[in-house]
Amino acid sequence: SQKIEQNSEALNIQEGKTATLTCNYTNYSPAYLQWYRQDPGRGPVFLLLIRENEKEKRKERLKVTFDTTLKQSLFHITASQPADSATYLCALNFGGYQKVTFGIGTKLQVIP
Amino acid sequence: EAQVTQNPRYLITVTGKKLTVTCSQNMNHEYMSWYRQDPGLGLRQIYYSMNVEVTDKGDVPEGYKVSRKEKRNFPLILESPSPNQTSLYFCASSFGAPSSNSPLHFGNGTRLTVT
């Protein structure tokens, strides 16, 4: 069965630095991959989507890469701010299936 | 404002007492889904619906029921709740099915405790 692996340990970085979060998956390549942000006590909020034929996607300070050879996506936040502190979830859809499967998320703490 | 609304936000109940968690979206979305979120396990899909009167099981459907009589509403029913259903529940919707790349819009969650 498919597995999605995100670093379950919290990531602490200094304000202004670039945060890099990792999402690895096993077996089949997904049709697309999404990243969501979740704040405590709130529902996840969609950030970015990258398709299997795309290598990189950007939105303001966010950048996502997708390497189907490594079976990995990297999520970068440049010039990080304390307001970026949250849990970030990776989610995959495997083409033809009507479901989105989520990783357990990585908690990011940006220290002022 | 476009949103997914779940009620109640918090619910404490006893084993065996039937309950319903409501979910409503005002975006005319076709796809709706229920997830539960548990520490160390992440979000797991319970049921989903592609459209009115079309529902299907997710990864953890046991002990749950759903219905989709109207496009905007997708209630989650626990006929006989048990303590292992204590969890944080999220309803989500999207314009199209997941295979169409549509992002999910989530409600703010329902924290259920079954004693």
Q: What is the pLDDT of residues A56-69, one digit of tens each?
A: 999 999 999 999 88
Helix, strand or coil for residue A68? coil
The residues, ordered by sequence, that sit 6+ positions from A28 with a Cβ below 8 Å of its Cβ are A2, A94
Q: Which residues in chain A (7-66) have CB-CB distances under 8 A to chain B?
A: 8, 31-32, 34, 36, 41-46, 49, 51
Q: Assess B50–A contact: CB distance below 8 Å, yes or no.
A: yes
Q: Given an 8 Å threshold on Cβ–Cβ distance, is A42 in contact with B109?
A: yes
pLDDT tens, residue by residue, A25-49:
987 778 889 999 999 989 999 999 9
| Share of residues in chain A with pLDDT > 90 (%) | 70
Tokens of B109: 């969650």
Strands A56-59 vs B10-13: parallel, antiparallel or unpaired:
unpaired
For residue A29, which of A88, A78, A79, A73 has the smallest C-alpha distance?
A: A73
Query: In whole angstroms, how large is the CA radius of gyration of chain B?
Result: 13
Instruction: Tell me how close the Cα of A19 comes to any Cα of chain B, in angstroms.
Output: 21
Q: By three-state DSSP, how is residue A69 classified?
A: coil
The more confident residue out of B68 and A95 is B68
What is the predicted pLDDT for the residue at B100? 79
Encode pLDDT of B84-101 as tens digits.
999 999 999 999 888 778
Both tokens of B17, joined, read 């007492």
pLDDT band, very low/low/confident/very high, at B29 (cuts 50, 70, 90): very high
* Rounded distance between C-alpha atoms, residue B47 and residue A29, angstroms: 24
